[in-house]
């Protein structure tokens, strides 16, 4: 008995996926969510001269294909939602045409701008008014890079659309701005809950381009006439979900009530806890925590930590060198490698960029007087152990900031398929890890659609559905796996001052 079918698009920096989600009505009021993958496609950034761009029209084609495939597979979704990485955007002119190709958040055009903007407006003020840790790709730095480059696009732009809103617009013709993405820009004031127009004016960023945000769980509208005709799908409606992938993933954490700690694991690691108000203290700034708007009127106090990106880049390099190593094999080799031989600080700036990751890891080890990894197993072990130690550090910082004590850590997202990472994390934090669901962003995306159409009353009820529908694996902190306490002390000495 299918109560409703939703279609979720979840676009990550490396690939995109479309899933159909069926809400099944069981006996006695019980309900379950069943998700099926209907399409998967690579998302390849394109280097154009000095700049790195998203291939946005290709992504649009893949979304259309996803809608077609979904229906060909026999699903009949009435709504769809799109979530993507944060911060990036496209600009529309007065005729509603897209101005150029959106920049990729790893484009180097923001290099040095954190310092420059801080000198202009003050780091303290910027943090109080944005609640975001200072990451070079935040929208504010990207737009300021365009201001500084004298970009003519800014002169003729009328509307700024963040990536998920842009893709929704290309499918529906409707311009909208979803709240969780808006809070990743650093141009949105979380305390006042409005765009920070004075800041935009000071930086020369045209403030008329920004639309009023709508809450996740709002129906945006139908496919445009031309798209509906092309896809023969006149009834499909777009929903503004938690369009920031991280927020969709958090919405799918199978916990009840607030006060839990979570880690969204993928290219990035987002470790945080759910609050009802932003925490904008000096200490939160110094410890580099963000306050991001979440689904269900929440604020997510979280730290953006480098994630499996480092390992993904290593794999890409091995492949270029002619050695293709699957994740399963890599995990086995890491398991056999010597523990704690080499440790890195994952958030050292050198690990952010693309390319030469093996060299950078070796360089870090040499600079800190450690033996460097020699083969893939050792590299993988180094990365996974270092991430786990970094998670312990962030978890303890979060306890300090909030005064809360966390009994364990919920891990969600694609990265939890790496069981070694889950196990290491449980050992590093000396607390249990509850892992699941893997498809958190997709599921959270669907939950916001169910909130929009009235199937779920609120976030708590939606999370209940996750608990009832997906298995959760528990990793106990293995006291026998010793060495983690000493390793943490060694690791802590390699980190930056306190963050
Ligand atoms: C994760 C994520 C993070 C954001 C980073 C860049 O996919 O959305 O939350 O900081 O990508 O946008």
What is the average pLDDT across 468-477? 95
Angle (nearest 5°) at CA 197 between 196 and 201: 125
Give nearest CA residue, ligand 1 atom 4: 86
Asked whether the predicted pLDDT for residue 375 surpasses 80, the reply is yes
User: Of the residues 43, 181, 182, 270, which should be mutated to test ligand 1's pocket, given the most ligand atoms within 8 Å of the CB?
Assistant: 270
List the structure tokens of 311: 């390992």
Residue linked to tokens 């009802």:
276
Give residue 86 CA to ligand 1 midpoint distance, Å: 5
22 neighbors 34 (Cβ within 8 angstroms): yes
Question: Which residue has the CA at smallest separation from atom 2 of ligand 1?
Answer: 85
CA angle (27, 29, 32) in 5-degree steps? 80
Question: If you take atom 9 of ligand 1, which residue's CA is the nearest one?
Answer: 246
314, pLDDT greater than 90: yes
111-160: pLDDT as tens digits: 999 999 999 999 999 999 999 999 999 999 999 999 999 999 999 999 99
Question: What distance in Å separates the CA atoms of residue 335 and residue 385, rounded to the nearest whole number?
Answer: 11
For residue 480, pLDDT over 60 is answered with: no
Greatest CA separation found in the chain? Answer: 65
Report phi then psi at 274, rounded to 5.
Answer: -95, 130
Are the C-beta atoms of residues 222 and 234 closer than 8 Å to each other?
yes
Residue to mutate (ligand 1; options 83, 133, 304; most atoms within 8 A of CB): 304
292 pLDDT above the threshold of 90: yes
Confidence of residue 497 (pLDDT cuts 50, 70, 90): very low
Please report the pLDDT score of residue 268 as a whole number: 96
Write down the pTM of the prediction. Answer: 0.97
Instruction: Report pLDDT for 282.
Output: 97
Mutational test site, ligand 1, from 17, 87, 248, max ligand atoms within 8 Å of CB:
87
β-strand partners of 117: none
Arithmetic mean of pLDDT, 290-315: 97
Judge contact between 180 and 295, C-beta under 8 A.
yes
The residue whose C-alpha atom lies closest to atom 1 belonging to ligand 1 is 85
Kindly give the distance from the C-alpha atom of residue 301 to the centroid of ligand 1, in angstroms, as a whole number: 14
* Residues in the ligand 1 pocket, defined by CB under 6 Å: 85-87, 105, 244-246, 266-268, 270, 304
pLDDT digits 0-9 by tens, 50-106: 999 999 999 999 999 999 999 999 999 999 999 999 999 999 999 999 999 999 999
Confidence grade of residue 498 (pLDDT, cut at 50, 70, 90) = very low
Confidence of residue 258 (pLDDT cuts 50, 70, 90): confident
- Distance of CA 167 to CAs 111, 177, 266, 466, Å? 27, 11, 22, 27
Please compute the mean of the pLDDT values over residues 354-377 and round it to a whole number. 96
pLDDT at 499 over 60: no
| CA-to-CA dists, residue 447 to 166, 246, 254, 291, 489, angstroms | 21, 14, 12, 22, 41
Catalytic residues: 245
pLDDT number for residue 354: 84
Q: Which atom of ligand 1 is nearest to the CA of 270?
A: 9
pLDDT digits (tens, 9 = 90+) for 410-456: 999 999 999 999 999 999 999 999 999 999 999 999 999 999 999 99
- Give the distance (Å) from ligand 1 centre to CA of residue 128: 21
What's the CA-to-centroid distance between 246 and ligand 1, angstroms? 7
User: Ligand 1 centroid to 10 CA: how many Å?
Assistant: 12
């Amino acid at each position: 008995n299918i109560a409703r079918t939703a279609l979720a698009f979840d676009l990550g920096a490396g690939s995109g996926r479309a899933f159909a989600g069926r809400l099944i009505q069981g006996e006695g009021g019980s309900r379950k969510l069943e998700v099926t993958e209907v399409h998967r496609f690579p998302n390849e950034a394109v280097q154009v001269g000095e700049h790195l761009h998203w291939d946005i029209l290709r992504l649009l084609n893949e979304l259309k294909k996803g809608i077609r495939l979904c229906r060909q597979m026999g699903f009949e979704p009435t709504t769809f939602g799109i979530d993507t990485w944060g911060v990036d955007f496209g600009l529309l002119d007065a005729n509603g045409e897209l101005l150029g190709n959106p920049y990729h958040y790893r484009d180097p055009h923001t290099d040095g701008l954190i310092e420059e903007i801080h000198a202009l407006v003050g780091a303290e003020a910027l943090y109080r008014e944005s609640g975001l840790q200072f990451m070079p790709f935040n929208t504010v730095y990207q737009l300021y890079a365009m201001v500084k480059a004298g970009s003519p696009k800014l002169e003729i732009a009328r509307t700024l659309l963040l990536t998920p809103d842009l893709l929704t617009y290309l499918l529906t013709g409707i311009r909208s701005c979803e709240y969780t993405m808006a809070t990743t820009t650093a141009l949105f004031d979380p305390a006042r809950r409005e765009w920070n127009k004075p800041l935009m004016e000071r930086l020369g960023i045209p403030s008329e381009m920004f639309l009023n945000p709508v809450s996740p769980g709002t129906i945006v509208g139908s496919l445009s006439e031309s798209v509906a005709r092309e896809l023969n799908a006149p009834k499909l409606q777009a929903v503004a979900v938690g369009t920031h992938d991280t927020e969709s993933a958090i919405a799918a954490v199978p916990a009840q009530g607030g006060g839990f700690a979570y880690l969204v694991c993928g290219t990035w690691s987002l470790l945080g806890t759910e609050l009802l108000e932003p925490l904008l203290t000096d200490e939160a700034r110094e410890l580099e925590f963000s306050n991001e708007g979440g689904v269900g009127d929440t604020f997510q106090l979280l730290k953006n930590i480098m994630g499996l990106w480092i390992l993904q880049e290593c794999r890409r390099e091995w492949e270029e060198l002619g050695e293709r190593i699957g994740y399963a094999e890599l995990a086995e080799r890491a398991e056999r490698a010597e523990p704690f031989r080499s440790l890195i600080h994952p958030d050292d700036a050198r690990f952010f960029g693309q390319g030469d990751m093996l060299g950078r890891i070796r360089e870090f080890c040499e600079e800190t007087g450690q033996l460097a990894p020699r083969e893939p197993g050792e590299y993988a072990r180094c990365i996974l152990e270092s991430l786990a130690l970094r998670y312990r550090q962030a978890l303890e910082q979060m306890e300090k900031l909030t005064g809360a004590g966390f009994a364990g850590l919920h891990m969600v997202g694609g990265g939890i398929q790496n069981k070694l990472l889950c196990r290491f994390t449980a050992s590093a934090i000396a607390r249990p890890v509850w892992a699941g669901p893997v498809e958190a962003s997709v599921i959270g995306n669907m939950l916001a659609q169910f909130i929009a159409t009235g199937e779920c009353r609120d976030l708590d009820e939606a999370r209940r559905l996750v608990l009832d529908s997906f298995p959760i694996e528990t990793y106990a902190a293995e006291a026998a796996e010793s060495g983690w306490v000493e390793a943490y002390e060694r690791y802590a000495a390699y980190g930056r001052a306190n963050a």
